Structure 1
Amino acid sequence: MHFRHADDIWHDFPELAAGALYVAGIRSDATVNAHLAHFEAIARARLAERTEAELPEIQAWRRAFARMALKATQYRSASEALLRRFRKEGTLPKIHPLIDLCNAASLAFAIPIAVFDLAKIDGDLEVRPAVGDEIYTAFSGEVEFPELQEIIFADAGGRAHARRWTNRQSGYSAVRDDTAAVLIVAEALHADARADVGRLVDALGEAIRTTWSVDPKSAILERAAPRFDF
């Protein structure tokens, strides 16, 4: 399998920096509390100085959403939505140790992170403009069809696993208790995106390694090398 961004994405968003991790051997009985506390402490310190809307990482995604004709207050990147909830409630709901870990890392770095159960991915996965006939399944079970040219995560079978780029992930390929292998994708657009995505991938990879005693495969993607084989 491989993951990549389409050439159109790199052309329209040359500032994009993306990191990907392939992880096999995940279990739902792991404990990640120490890692969560570490990442959440970083997020609290950042939010004590400014709101999530003032962070350069979030502002970059707001500009990208505006270019996609999406209203900033109606559609938020996954990282902005998490930070907003964390600032208001002081915590995030616990879902699955891997999801909890990735959500906490997203808080700390203010970078959206998607996690896909690879058993639900048909062939390769690509971030690309929608043609309009892809199938998207919400967490509610409702079936939707992305709009023409909307940026989605699409597999070879024509299923959309995320809508509006980093805004809304599908319930179809969400991590569950029986998930064994995942693809994790982190994307950023701000000035220091490449360095920060690299630090995120390293930190998340180390947390996964120590928690599940597995060795994640990872890559930093760029326009000249946009493909991650795993």
Structure 2
Amino acid sequence: MIFRHAEEVRTAHPGLAAGALHATGVDGAADVEARVADHTARALARLADGPESRFPEVLAWRRTFARTGLRPTQYRCASESLLRRLRKEGSLPRIHPVVDLCNAVSVAYAVPIAVIDADRITGPLLEVRPAHGDEEYTTFDGRTEHPAPGEVTYADSAGRAHARRWTNRQSGHSAVRDGTRRILVVAEAMHEGGADTVARVLETLADELGAHWPVTPVTSLLTDAAPEFTLDDTARVR
């Protein structure tokens, strides 16, 4: 299966920096609390100097949302939402060890990170592209929605939408759960220096996943020259 950003998305958003990670062999049993605490402490230290709304990483996504016709204070990218919750409540919700780790790394670097159950994607292609309007998106409470035509979404070969409003909200259909064993993780940034940030995010996540599960993650930076990431059997259990 191939993951990529459609050419029209890259053309419309030349500042996009993205990277992907694939790993097989995760489960819900690992204890990631210490590492989650370390990463969230880093975010809290930064928040002590000012709210997330001033972060360059967040401002860049707000500008991106505005360009796509969304009100950026109504629809926030996932990392801004997490940072906002962390600032107000002092902690992040606990969902699943893999998700908790990705959320903690997301706030530490202030960029949105999607973590998807790869076995819930219908291949051979998962593409970040403008919606046609007939894609099906499943909410976390089981309702079906249809992204508006032109809305940027993660769409698979069966026409299922795995996100709404690009980095705003993931799908309940492909959310990581207790039975998840194979994951696709995507980090996306729009700020100046975003490629370096995404590279550090991928390195951090690969190290964390490898330390907590018997996995050997495969990662790749995605660029205009090399926009595709192939999920294959190289991401095996150790």
TM-score computed with the length of structure 1 as normaliser: 0.99
In structure 2, the residue matched to 1:23 is: 23
Q: CA RMSD in A?
A: 0.6
- Is 2:50 aligned against 1:50? yes
Q: Give the drift of 1:213.
A: 2.5
Give deviations 1:142-189, integer Å, cap 9, x for gaps. Answer: 101110110000000000000100001110000000000010000000
In structure 1, the residue matched to 2:197 is: 196
The CA distance in 2 between the partners of 1:108 and 1:82, in whole Å, is 10
In structure 1, the residue matched to 2:234 is: none
Q: Give the drift of 1:56.
A: 0.2
Q: Give the drift of 1:119.
A: 1.4
The CA distance in 1 between the partners of 2:222 and 2:192, in whole Å, is 16
Which AA in structure 2 matches 1:115? V
In structure 1, the residue matched to 2:214 is: 213
Are 2:118 and 2:174, in contact at CA under 8 Å, matched by a contact in 1? yes
The CA distance in 1 between the partners of 2:102 and 2:41, in whole Å, is 15
The CA distance in 2 between the partners of 1:20 and 1:38, in whole Å, is 23
The CA distance in 1 between the partners of 2:35 and 2:212, in whole Å, is 9
Give deviations 1:59-82, integer Å, cap 9, x for gaps. Answer: 000000000111121100000000
Which AA in structure 1 matches 2:93? P
Instruction: Indicate the percent of aligned positions where both proteins have the same amino acid.
Output: 54
Are 2:19 and 2:202, in contact at CA under 8 Å, matched by a contact in 1? yes
Give deviations 1:6-42, integer Å, cap 9, x for gaps. Answer: 0001101111000100010001000111211211111
Give unmatched runs, 5+ long, in structure 1: none
Report the 3-state secondary structure (helix = DSSP H, G, I; strand = E; otherwise coil) of the residue aligned with 2:48: helix
The CA distance in 1 between the partners of 2:50 and 2:214, in whole Å, is 37
The CA distance in 1 between the partners of 2:72 and 2:160, in whole Å, is 26
The CA distance in 1 between the partners of 2:146 and 2:93, in whole Å, is 28
Aligned residues: 230
TM-score computed with the length of structure 2 as normaliser: 0.96
The CA distance in 2 between the partners of 1:16 and 1:38, in whole Å, is 28
In structure 1, the residue matched to 2:100 is: 100
Q: Give the drift of 1:214.
A: 1.0
The CA distance in 2 between the partners of 1:79 and 1:147, in whole Å, is 23
Q: Give the drift of 1:117.
A: 0.6
Report the 3-state secondary structure (helix = DSSP H, G, I; strand = E; otherwise coil) of the residue aligned with 1:49: coil
- Residue correspondence of structure 1 range 1-230 to structure 2 within 5 A: 1-123=1-123, 124-230=125-231
The CA distance in 2 between the partners of 1:154 and 1:72, in whole Å, is 22
Give unmatched runs, 5+ long, in structure 2: 232-238
